[in-house]
């Protein structure tokens, strides 16, 4: 699970786990270092991990609007999908993890590299930060 700013492609929160569920999303929100009140919109697809009271309460508490992709319209979530493709291509496909702790450690290292060292053509070949 990854949360990012649209304007600069920065990954601001992330989590990993055995299951794709609301707890995974909640841990990603909990990992965000900035004030959640500064986030205006939370855009997702219509996955079940986003349809629950915990996520609803988090969004309400910080006055974050929910934006859902329309069914069958991948363009609504194009930036997120492009970022996931990058992560899968650069990180997931080249790795084998012996356990969940190793995955969490390696993912944290990758996100640091992604935000601070990886250049992005959409950012005029600058890093997100």
What torsion, rounded to 10 degrees, do the Cα atoms 48, 31, 29, 128 define? Answer: -100
pTM above 0.95, yes or no: no
Q: Return the exposure string of 66-75: e unless at least 16 CB atoms fall within 10 Å of the residue's CB, then b.
A: eeebeeeeee
pLDDT at 115 over 90: yes
pLDDT for 44 equals 81
Secondary element (H or E) of residue 17: none
**Whether residue 42 has pLDDT greater than 70:** yes
1-10, 31-40, 88-97, 117-126: which range is least confident on average? Answer: 1-10
Taken in order of first residue, the domains within the chain and their CATH numbers are 2-123 (3.30.420.10)
pLDDT of 2 strictly over 70: no
The per-residue pLDDT for range 46-80, each reduced to its tens digit, is 777 888 888 889 899 999 998 887 777 767 777 77
Distances (CA, A) of 122 to 7, 75, 79: 10, 17, 11
- Mean pLDDT along residues 103-126: 93
Query: What is the predicted pLDDT for the residue at 46?
Result: 76
């Amino acid at each position: 699970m990854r949360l990012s700013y649209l304007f600069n492609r920065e990954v601001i929160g992330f989590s990993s786990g055995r299951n794709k569920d609301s707890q995974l999303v909640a841990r990603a929100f909990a990992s965000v270092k900035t004030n959640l009140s500064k986030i205006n919109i939370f855009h997702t697809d219509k996955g079940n991990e986003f349809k629950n009271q915990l996520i609803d309460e988090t969004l309400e508490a910080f006055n974050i609007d929910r934006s859902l992709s329309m069914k069958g319209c991948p363009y609504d979530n194009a930036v997120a999908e492009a970022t996931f493709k990058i992560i899968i291509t650069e990180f997931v496909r080249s790795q084998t993890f012996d356990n969940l702790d190793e995955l969490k450690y390696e993912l944290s290292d990758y996100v640091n590299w992604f935000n601070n060292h990886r250049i992005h053509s959409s950012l005029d070949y600058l890093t997100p930060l």
